[in-house]
Structure 1
Amino acid sequence: MKEKVLKLLIDAEQFLSGEEMSHTLGVSRTAVWKNINKLRGEGYCIESVTNKGYRLTMQPDQLDAYEIEQLLGSKKLVEQVFVYKSIDSTNKEAKRKAMEGNSYTALLLSEEQTIGIGRRGRQWVSKKGAGIYMSLLLRPLIKPINASMITLVAGLAVQRAIGQITGLNSQIKWPNDLVIRNKKICGILTEMSSEMDFVNYVVIGIGINVNNQQFEEEIQEVATSLSLEGGKIYPRKGLIIQIIKEFEQLYHQFLKEESLQFMIDSFNNQCINVGKGVKVEGKDQNIIGNAIRVTEEGALLIGLENGEEMIINAGEVSVRGLYGYVD
C-alpha cells in the first residue's frame, strides 16, 4: 500500500486530496494517512494543506526498487530491479541470480558493498549511501568474442550521464575507468558466462564515487567524487536513471552491429589515453608507447618508439600524468 501511495504522489502534478487517494486505492482515508506518515518517516517530504490535500516536495536520496522502476518507465532493457541495504557485491549477486535459471534482465543496486570488486580482483571501496554501486544483468545475443566491447559502451554511457546530471566533464580511461582532473571517479567491471558460440549472460558492474567527502589515505591522491569536484550533493537516483537511458540507446545499436563503429569517434574524443604516453604491463614485459586511438573492436592502438604500431586488447594500462605515472 505504501508503494501505491508513493506512486500517486509521484505522478500527481498538483495537490492530491486524501479522499481522491482513498477512492483510487479502495482504502479508507485513515489508511492513506498512516501510509503518508510511513513515507515521511522514511525521509519523504510530503506537504499537507487543508482543503487541498498532499503534495510530494522532496524525495530522500535512498534507493527504492519500486520508485526506480517507476522512473525507468516501461522500457524493456531492465525487467527486474533489486535494491539492497548491504550486500557483498552487486556483481556477485547478479551472477547468483543468473545461475538460478532465471531468464530476466535486471538492475541490482546496493547502499553499500562489503566486498566490492574492481578490475583484477581489487577491492572497490563502497561507502554506505555515498556512491552508486550497481550491476546490470544482461542476456545479449552476440558472439562471445564481442562481449568485452560492452565495457566501452557502458563507459561512454556513464560519461554522458555524468555530464547531463552534474555538468562535470569526465573522461574515459581505456578500458574501464572514468576520471575528473586526473582522479578516478568510476570503475566498470564486466563479467561473462558463455559457451563456445553463445553468451549465457553478461554482468556489468559500475561503481561511482558520487557524494563521498573523503577517502582512505592510500587512495586519496588518485580518487575523487562528483561532489568534491562539483561542490554540491548530487541525486544518486537521477544519475542512475540517466545512466540506464544513455546505456540503453548505445547498447541497442551495439547489438545490431556488434561493433563500436557507430560510437567510436565519440569515445575517442572523451578518452584520456588518446595522444598520451602509456605503459602497458604485460605478462612478460612492459610496453611503452603513445596511444593513437581506440579501434572499432575496442582495442587500444599504440605507436611504439621504433615507429611500429601495436594493438592492445587487454592489460593494465598506465597513462602518463594519471594516477602518479610519470615515467
Structure 2
Amino acid sequence: MSSTRERIIALLAANNESYVSGQAISDQLKISRTAVWKQMKVLKQDGYLIEAIPNKGYRIISTPNKLSENTLQWGLQTKWLGKSINFYDEIDSTQTKANHLAQQGCKHGTVVIANSQQAGRGRMNRAWHSNNEDGIWMSMVLRPTILPAHAPQFTLLTGTVLVDILSEKTGIPIKIKWPNDLFVGDKKVAGILTEMQAEQDQIHYLVIGIGINVNQYTKQLPAEIRTKATSLREATGNWFSKIELIQSILYAFETAYERHQEIGFSEIKRNWEKRGYKMNQNVTYHSGNIQSEGIIKGINENGALLIESNDNEIITLYSAEIDW
C-alpha cells in the first residue's frame, strides 16, 4: 500500500496545472488538514517548491534534482514497476539489498536505488566502481512466470531497453556487448547483473541490477579503467538528470516486460541483434581451456551467443570469455 506522502505526490502530479485544496486532499486521502500541512512541510524540506494560496490550495512548482523516494515517484508513469521504491543515500550494494527483500517476500516490481554503493558488483563478482553520486545504481525485483532456463532473456531485454533510452536521451550510438554490458565506441558505459532464486521448473524471483555511468568525468574513475570505461557526460559533454533517466528506464522496462510476457522473446532477439556490439565481426573467445575464433552471428532463444566458426559451423556459447 502506498504511503500518505506518495499518495499526495500522485494527487498533486495528476493536477500539476491547477491547485488542489487542503480539504480535497484531506477528503481523498482520509487524513486531517493538519496531517496534510505536515506532509507539505516534509516535501518542502525534501526540496520541493510548493505554492500554497488561501482558498485555492497547493501546487508543486518544481521538484528537486536530488534522488529520493519522493522525487522518483513524482511523475513516474509506471503501473507496477517502482511503485515500491527503497532509496538509500549510501549502501553496500543495491543487488544485495534487493535479494534480501526478495527473500523476505517483497512484491513484484520492487526497486532498490542508491546514491552510492560501497561494494557494487558485476558479473562473476567483479567490483563495480560506484562509490559516487554521479551514476545510476539500482536493482529491480521481478517474479516472472517463466522457466528458469529462460531467465537470461531478461538480461538481454534489459540491454535493449537501456540502449533505446540512453541512445534517445544522448543522441549517440550505443551497443550491447554480450551478455551484459553497454558500450559507447569501445568503452563500457553501463552493466547489467541478473541473479535468481529458482527450482527446476519455477522461478521464485529475479533481481536485475543496473549500473550506469552518467555524470562522471574520466578523472573520477579508477586509473586502471579510464581507458576502458566512459560516462554519458564524457561521451556527450552534457549533464543528465538521473531522475528523468531512471523514470524513463522504469517505464520502458515495464512496457517491454509486459510485451515479453505477451508475445515472447522473438522481438527482443531482433532488437538485440540490431544493437549487438561487433555483430558479424570476427572475435577470439575462450571456452574452458580452448581458444577459438569466429564471427558473431546473433543470439538464440535462451540468450546464448551464436558464433560462426572458421569451418562455417554455428557454435552456441552459453558462457565464455571473449577478447573484444
What is the TM-score normalised by the length of structure 1? Answer: 0.85
The letter of the residue matching 2:93 is S
- 1:4 Cα shift? 6.2
What is the CA-CA distance between 1:51 and the residue it aligns to? 9.7
- Aligned runs of 1:93-172 on 2, under 5 Å? 93-172=97-176
> Is the aligned partner of 1:201 residue 2:205?
yes
Is the contact between residue 22 and residue 57 of structure 2 (CA under 8 Å) also seen in structure 1? no
For 2:29, the equivalent position in structure 1 comes to none
SS at structure 1 position matched to 2:117: coil
Could you say what secondary structure the match of 2:303 adopts?
A: coil
> Hey, what does 1:217 align to over in structure 2?
223
SS in 2 for 1:255: helix
Q: Which runs of 5+ in 2 are unaligned?
A: 27-31
In the TM superposition, residue 2 of structure 1 has moved relative to its aligned partner by 6.2
Q: Could you say what secondary structure the match of 1:175 adopts? A: coil
Deviation (angstroms), 1:156? 0.3
Letter in 2 for 1:301: L
Structure 1 residues 282 and 12: CA distance shift in structure 2, 3 A? same
Cα displacement (A) at 1:220: 0.8
The question of whether the paired residues in 1 share the 8 Å contact of 2:109 and 2:140 is answered with yes
Letter in 2 for 1:154: T
Q: How far did 1:282 drift?
A: 2.0
Give CA-to-partner distance per residue, 1:247-296, whole Å, 9 cap, x none: 222222323455x2122222111111302222222221222222122233
CA distance in 1 between partners of 2:54 and 2:237 (Å): 38
Match of 1:298 in 2: 303
CA offsets, 1:123-164, max 9 Å, x none? 111133211111111111111111111100010011111123
CA distance in 1, matches of 2:190, 2:76: 22
Matches within 5 A, 1:46-125: 46=50, 56-73=60-77, 75-125=79-129
Cα RMSD (Å) of the superposition? 2.7
Asked whether the 8 Å contact 1:5–1:21 carries over to 2, the reply is: no
**Which residue in 2 is equivalent to 1:249?**
255
Residue 301 of structure 2 aligns with an amino acid whose one-letter code is E
Which one of the candidate residues 221, 232, 239 is aligned to 1:226?
Answer: 232
Runs (5+) with no aligned partner, structure 1: 320-327
| Aligned residue in 2 for 1:264 | 269
Give the Å deviation of 1:88.
1.1
Q: Note closer, same or farther for the CA distance 1:42–1:103 as it changes in structure 2 (3 Å cut).
A: closer
Contact 1:165 1:238 in 2 (8 A): no
Output the amino acid matched with 2:110: A
Structure 1 CA distance for aligned equivalents of residues 247 and 137 of structure 2: 13
Structure 1: distance between partners of 2:69 and 2:48? 15
1:170 positional shift: 1.3
Identity %: 32
Determine the structure 2 residue equivalent to 1:308.
Answer: 313
**Are the equivalent residues in 2 in contact too, given 1:79–1:104 (CA < 8 A)?**
no
d(CA) in 2 for partners of 1:14 and 1:73?
17
Corresponding position of 1:282: 287
| Distance change >3 Å, CA 28–CA 56, structure 1 → 2 | same
Q: Deviations over 1:216-241 (max 9, x none)?
A: 11111111111121212111111112
Q: Secondary structure at the match of 2:252?
A: helix
Deviates more, 1:158-167 or 1:46-55: 46-55
- Whole-Å Cα distance in 1 between the matches of residues 65 and 273 of structure 2? 33
- Distance in 2 separating the partners of 1:37 and 1:79: 23
- Whether the 8 Å CA contact 1:280–1:315 is kept in 2: the answer is yes
**Matched residue type, 1:315:** A
By how many angstroms is 1:98 displaced?
A: 1.6
Contact 2:81–2:111 under 8 Å retained in 1: no
Query: What CA distance in whole angstroms lies between the structure 2 residues aligned with 1:316 and 1:65?
Result: 38
Distance 2:175 2:9 in 1: 37
Give SS of 1:262's match.
helix
Contact persistence 1:8–1:21 (CA under 8 A): no
Aligned residues: 314
The corresponding residue for 1:322 is none
Does the CA-based 8 Å contact 1:15-1:52 persist in structure 2? Answer: no
For residues 8 and 140 of structure 2, the distance between their equivalents in structure 1, rounded to whole angstroms, comes to 28
